[in-house]
Amino acid sequence: MQQLVKIARGLSSPAILITVVWCATLIGVAVGPIDFPGQPSVLVLVLVAVGVSLFIAGHAAGAWWFRVWLRHRPNLPAPPIRTVNIAVVATALLGLAGIALIAFDRIVLSGVSTGGYAELLRCAPTLIDSIEVKRTPLLYAGYLVFSFGSAAFVLFLLKGEEVRGWPAILAQLSFLSPVGYALLYSGRMPILLAIVLAIAAVLVRIGQGRRPLPRGHHLLVKAIAALVLFGVYSNAMWSSRRSFCTQMGGLVQELLRKASEQPDGRLPAGAISAADLNRMIEAQKALPGAQYAPKVSDLPLMKREVWHTSPRGYVLRAIESGLLSNGTASNLLNTYFYLTHGIYVLDLAWHARAQFSPHWGIYEVGILSPILRVFVPQNQQLLSMNTELKAAKINGFFPTAWGAAYIDFGAAGAVIYILIWGIAAGWSFLGTRHSGLATPPLLLTFILASILLSPVQGPLGVANSALVLVSMAMVGLAVDFGNRISRQAVPLQTNQAS
């Protein structure tokens, strides 16, 4: 047990964790259940080595910066319990209110079917601009604050010994914010991000020499239940999406055919009303059609023929011997593909690097795309980005943190971006170990989570993680600023009393 604690304490260092994560990822791609031909290539190994080295260099600079900063502020005590409780309650209520507003707009006011719109866009994401969806100010208000639910949950995990009663209940209920977002938009990454944030918070606590989870909240039982439910939901989502896309194949092809007849290859914005879309989906469901049934020859489904991927021999032998059913193998392989195909995409992106122009965060920061589509429809940045991604044959796939940095910022910008990521990691790591401030451990939790997910996307590119980062930074700064003001007020009141 002590050895495990030492290992976990070492992994709480961003520099160590990113090295371990990427070594494990590269080994997993080399010998894992899916054969990515020629991967990891020498090119990918070099790109990963450069990226990790830049991050570690930034980490050292960030640690040095905090040491210098600490010399001028030697006394940095932890915030009082009352301040932490207020922050937890306020952020939890904001997060729950935000997801409630999004849900109300999406289910009641948008006019789209709750059982088809999001699923159809998973099958044909290029149709997103063509479908007329009513959006009210409630949706935008919800988007501004729903990510505070993640901040409340993480702050509770970090300070759970102090947070009791209603604040603790609200903080745990705030986990419903990412869960609700995932359910509304037929996704899994918001829940995965929340789970990874919880794992990162555990690493932060161990790094501080504390128990992995706070006492008194039955969090271990709840965590196991959450992981089991997520596994069931993930498998059900895979099966449901495959079945739906198979059933909607005729409708999707018809809509794409109409789009191809347009001069720019796209249907006009708002060409399909929400009511018409609902009727089309229901009519397609009523047609007799084959339901998807997983087969060995279909594994994995994604890009099998284009990328020449296939299950490794030991997987096929396990299926043929009956150790794995076709359905179970299909779900496992597609999940594995989902989490590891970024290595191959990184290779493709580098070979197509001359085709990319900088997009300044639009690729990673998910909220920027709908803002441009809705409020600046004449802007061509989204069209340009999608055209470049399609030309590189990586549209809709994950390029890893290194590929995402290049797509968004170009070569020089990617170097700066990764260095900033590393600097923030080093600063927050030293701040967590050598101060009582609230901001460093919150920031460190986010960065450790972003490292764990870096084989998939960049730190700002997973399930509105940019909004989560902003909310966590705001909460940490508010707590620390409030603590500083209250500490300055105490001597003043004492002097006045004397």
pLDDT on residue 234: 84
Instruction: Report the candidate in 243, 307, 278, 225 with the shortest Cα–Cα distance to residue 29.
Output: 307
**What is the value of pTM for the model shown?**
0.91
- pLDDT above 70 as % of the chain: 92
pLDDT on residue 316: 86
Q: How confident is the model at residue 455 (pLDDT cuts 50, 70, 90)?
A: very high
- pLDDT above 90 as % of the chain: 50
Instruction: Report the candidate in 462, 123, 116 with the shortest Cα–Cα distance to residue 301.
Output: 123
Give me Rg for the CA atoms of the chain. Answer: 24
Peptide bond into 214 cis (omega under 30): no
Q: How confident is the model at residue 146 (pLDDT cuts 50, 70, 90)?
A: very high
As a whole number, mean pLDDT of residues 400-424 equals 96
- Residue type at 423? I
Higher pLDDT, 248 or 263: 248
Structure confidence by residue, pLDDT tens digits, 459-492 = 999 888 999 999 999 999 999 988 777 776 655 4
Distances 111 to 26, 41, 134, 164, 245 between C-alpha atoms, Å: 45, 48, 7, 41, 21
Peptide bond into 178 cis (omega under 30): no
- Given a contact cutoff of 8 angstroms between Cβ atoms, the answer to whether 462 and 193 are in contact is yes
Q: How confident is the model at residue 49 (pLDDT cuts 50, 70, 90)?
A: very high
- Residue type at 199? I
As a whole number, mean pLDDT of residues 53-75 equals 90
Taking phi first (over 0 means left), then psi (-120 to 50 degrees means alpha), and beta for anything else, what does residue 292 get?
Answer: beta
Distance CA 179, CA 177 (A): 5
Q: Is the pLDDT assigned to residue 495 strictly greater than 50?
A: no
Q: Is the pLDDT assigned to residue 358 strictly greater than 50?
A: yes
Q: Is the pLDDT assigned to residue 497 strictly greater than 70?
A: no
Instruction: Report the candidate in 471, 275, 455 with the shortest Cα–Cα distance to residue 367.
Output: 471
- Strongest mean pLDDT among 243-257, 357-371, 483-497: 357-371
Distance CA 60, CA 19 (A): 14
Question: Tokens 């055209």 belong to which residue?
Answer: 387
Segment among 21-30, 271-280, 309-318 with least mean pLDDT: 271-280
Distance CA 16, CA 55 (A): 11
As a whole number, mean pLDDT of residues 245-253 equals 81
Q: How confident is the model at residue 335 (pLDDT cuts 50, 70, 90)?
A: confident
pLDDT on residue 74: 64
Question: Tokens 């935000």 belong to which residue?
Answer: 98
Mean pLDDT of the chain: 86
Structure confidence by residue, pLDDT tens digits, 305-330 = 567 888 888 988 888 888 888 777 87
Q: Is the pLDDT assigned to residue 356 strictly greater than 70?
A: yes
Q: Is the pLDDT assigned to residue 439 strictly greater than 80?
A: yes
As a whole number, mean pLDDT of residues 256-283 equals 76
How many helices (H) and strands (E) are present in the chain, helices listed first?
22, 4
Domain ranges of the chain: 1-498
pLDDT on residue 332: 82
